[in-house]
Amino acid sequence: MGRSFPAYVCGPKGAPAVIVLQEWWGVTSQVQLQAQRIASQGYRCLVPDLYKGKLGVDAEEASHMMGNLDFPGAVEEIRAAASYLKEEGSATCGVTGFCMGGALSLASAVRSQGELVCAAPFYGVPDQKYFDCSTIKIPVQAHFGKLDSLAGFSDPAAADALKAALEKAGCPHEVHMYEGAAHGFMNDEAAFIEKKKAMFGVDHSPEAVDAAYSRLFDFFGEHLGGAK
């Protein structure tokens, strides 16, 4: 990326930008495909490699890597990525992310000082002791699976708590819940479909994926502008 940390970048240079944040697995082929799908709508997408090239080969290792991640430091890297994209020519920049990346999307929205104009987290909420979502000022569109069982992080109770915090914040917000969908429901690469089935015992829901992307693209179109 030409700065102090690596990243995967796709989409037209200078277009409205979206920072796409990894799950606890790292910058996998799955998150790259998700970035490519967003970029196909006319956005410049950047996936900062917060693990610096490392990948979690199983849930135990991924959990360990996520637990050791410096969240405030990662948020500063995300803010730096937004500044880089604007220097590159993007007039606006939003953020989205999945699992750990969803939590970091919200954390970045809390700490944003104008670098980000909107945030779209998927199934992840940060620790409110350190990142108080009731202070967010930018528009938020959040996505959760009704069958998500990760208590306090992305289950329906966590989604309800986030909605209450955003209502307190007074920022424009949407919190969407997908029937029949579990944690990681946006993962549609074959290997990741098998992995989430093994972990959560819930079948893949293409309908949830399509509905979420449709909402996401409408949200970015409204707040970032300029894409097709």
Domain ranges of the chain: 7-223
pLDDT digits (tens, 9 = 90+) for 30-51: 999 999 999 999 999 999 999 8
Q: What is the pLDDT of residues 96-136, one digit of tens each?
A: 999 999 999 999 999 998 999 999 999 999 999 999 999 99
Q: How confident is the model at residue 202 (pLDDT cuts 50, 70, 90)?
A: confident
Across 12-27, average pLDDT: 94
Q: What's the average model confidence in pLDDT over 22-36?
A: 92
**How high is the mean pLDDT of the chain?**
92
Neighbours of 198 (CB within 10 A): 9
| Partners of residue 185 on adjacent β-strands | none
Give the lowest-confidence range in 56-60, 73-77, 126-130: 56-60
Note the pLDDT of residue 64: 82
Model confidence band, residue 2 (pLDDT cutoffs 50, 70, 90): very low
**Do residues 173 and 140 touch, judged by C-beta distance below 8 A?**
yes
Which of residues 194 and 35 earns the better pLDDT score?
35
Higher pLDDT, 56 or 142: 142
As a whole number of angstroms, the distance between CA 108 and CA 128 comes to 13
Q: Which CATH architecture has domain 7-223?
A: 3-Layer(aba) Sandwich (3.40)
The single residue listed with the structure tokens 């220097």 is 87
User: What's the chain's length in residues?
Assistant: 228
Q: How far is CA 107 from CA 57, 193, 222, in A?
A: 26, 27, 22
In this prediction, residue 226 has a pLDDT band, given cuts at 50, 70 and 90, of low
Query: Percent of the chain at pLDDT above 70?
Result: 96
Which tokens in the block code for residue 201? 């015992």
pLDDT at 83 over 80: yes
